[in-house]
């Protein structure tokens, strides 16, 4: 994303998905090593545990990074399966 250490970020959660945007008024920052650390409250909202893998999508033009935790991916797959097959996805 090209976010330098100290860049201020806004992190929001909705529908089990995490959206991270560069925002001069944001309360979160990129670490000195250039890492993005998700706050524990955000991880808790999305059911993320240490070591969980996530799907990341980026839109550099919009300064947007979206994090899809496993629970969100499971729900998207179930919805797609219902749309195609109908009924209960299990």
**Four-residue CA torsion sign, 30, 32, 33, 38:** negative
What value does the mean pLDDT take over residues 73-84? 80
Q: What token pair was written down for 54?
A: 């996530």
Give the tens place of pLDDT for each residue, 32-64. 999 988 888 888 888 888 788 888 999 999 989
Q: Are 17 and 66 in contact (CB under 8 A)?
A: yes
4 or 75: which carries more pLDDT confidence? 4
pTM attached to this predicted model: 0.76
Task: Report the candidate in 58, 71, 50 with the shortest Cα–Cα distance to residue 3.
Answer: 58
Q: How far is CA 84 from the centre of its chain?
A: 26
């Amino acid at each position: 994303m090209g976010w330098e250490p100290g860049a201020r970020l806004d992190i929001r959660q909705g529908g089990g998905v995490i959206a991270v945007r560069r925002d001069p008024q944001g309360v979160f920052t990129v670490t000195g090593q250039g890492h993005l650390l998700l706050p524990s409250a955000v991880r808790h909202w999305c059911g993320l545990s240490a070591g969980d893998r996530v799907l990341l999508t980026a839109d550099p033009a919009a300064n947007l990074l979206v994090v899809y935790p496993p629970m969100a991916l499971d729900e998207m797959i179930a919805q797609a399966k219902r749309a195609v097959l109908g009924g209960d996805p299990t």
